[in-house]
Amino acid sequence: MKKLVTVLVVVFIAFIIFVLIGPFYVINEGEQAVVTRFGAIVDVEQNAGLKFKVPLIDTVVKYPKRILGWDGDAQRIPTKENQFIWVDTTARWRINDPKKFYESLSTLEGGYSRLDGIIDSSVRTVISQNNLREAVRNSNIINDIDRVPTIGQGDSAVSQDEVNLEELKKLTFTNQNYDEVGRGREQLSRDMFSATAELMPQFGIELIDVVLRQIRYSDELTNSVYERMKKERNQIAEAYRSYGEGQKAILLGRLENEKKQILSKAYEEAETIKGAADATATTIYADAYETDPDFFNFWRSIESYRKTLPKFKKTLSTDMEYFNYLYNEDGR
């Protein structure tokens, strides 16, 4: 009896130890695992659930099944025309063959390191084989946009009747066509993906996509772009100034013409009024002369003295007929 109890106790203790050292392991949703025994793969588990392994001998290496993200470091890469740009790339990938992944890379860190080398190399190759415009633009829509700038806004806006926009087009850069894009940024991303994806199956990796996340100009290229922008803005400003001076000359000419017309009309009316007044005065003078000729002559002489004498600085003689009414007794 004692022997039986001893055996049962030993069996129970052995069972407890067996359970404690972990013969079972759990594969969660979104996980997959490789089971190795003395470094050799003995099993691959890709379904969730409770799994069994040989305690102390088997080792379980788990990998995620979900899609993983990869973010590369920005690279300074020359384009085909040797213009340097900073290229920032991102990608998505997942482990679709855990056995190959374990045999070739072992860990996620190893996978990321391998992606760094392969994707960075593909990005550098593709960028260096294409012109700058292919990397920064995706279409030729910029050549289809009517880029005549709006002249004012709201209440201060200038109507097309007042400004000849077609004339401004000739003066500004609005008729300029930029170099055509043959492939574009999306196609370059696809080229990077193709060049990288074909190398991934040997590592048990499925590459989902490679995307150009950001492209920045280098300092020297940025300065060149800014100078070009300033030149275009100055060209537009100069076009506005030139057009404005032309419009100013037209308006001033129009105003001068209107001024001459107004003055001419006013002079004509003034002469008409003056003529009518002279005619009226002549009639009055004639009537006065007929009524009293002597008084009329006296009055005309006095008016003449009043107008002319202040202009004379010296009087040489008072015997002049002109002064009859001043110094001649018969004229008084």
Could you tell me the CATH number of the domain that includes residue 198?
3.30.479.30
Residue 125 lies in a domain: yes
What domain range includes position 120?
A: 68-149+162-236
Q: Which of 11, 31, 64 is the last residue of a domain?
A: 64
Q: Are 182 and 311 found together in one domain?
A: no
Residue count of the chain: 332
**Residues 74 and 114 reside in one and the same domain:** yes
Residues 9 and 79 occupy one common structural domain = no
Q: What is the pLDDT of residue 191?
A: 93
Classify residue 204: in a domain, yes or no.
yes
Give the pLDDT confidence score for residue 264 in this predicted structure.
Answer: 92
Same domain, 37 and 139: no
- Whether 187 and 49 map to the same domain: the answer is no
Residue 17's pLDDT band (boundaries 50, 70, 90)? low
Domain count, the chain: 3
What is the spatial distance between Cα 46 and Cα 98, in angstroms, rounded to a whole number? 9
Pair (304, 191) in one structural domain: no
Do 92 and 210 reside in the same domain of the chain?
yes
Both 56 and 104 in a single domain?
no
- Listed residues 64, 83, 105: the one ending a domain: 64
Specify if 57 maps to a domain.
yes
Output the CA angle 40-41-44, nearest 5 degrees: 170
Threshold 0.75, pTM exceeds: no
Kindly state whether residue 278 falls inside one of the protein's structural domains. Answer: no
Identify the burial level of 87 via C-beta atoms within 10 angstroms of its C-beta, where 0-12 means exposed, 13-18 middle and 19 or more buried. buried
Whether 35 is covered by a domain: the verdict is yes
- Are residues 79 and 227 located together in one domain of the fold? yes
Give the domain-ending residue among 236, 260, 277.
236
In a domain, 276, yes or no: no
Same domain? 188 vs 135: yes
One domain for residues 185 and 214:
yes
> Residue 52: inside a domain, yes or no?
yes
Shared domain check, 189 and 114: yes
Q: What is the mean pLDDT of the chain?
A: 79
The pLDDT tens digits for 245-299 are 888 999 999 999 999 999 999 999 999 999 888 888 878 877 776 777 767 777 7
User: How many Å apart are CA 12 and CA 10, to the nearest integer?
Assistant: 5
In a domain, 13, yes or no: yes
User: For residue 37, how far is the Cα from the chain centroid?
Assistant: 62
pLDDT exceeds cutoff 90 at 97: yes
Determine the pLDDT at residue 234: 85
Per-residue pLDDT at 122: 94
User: What is the amino acid identity at position 24?
Assistant: F
User: How far apart, in whole angstroms, are the C-alpha atoms of residue 130 and residue 132?
Assistant: 7
136-152 average pLDDT score: 60
User: Is 95 a residue whose pLDDT tops 80?
Assistant: yes
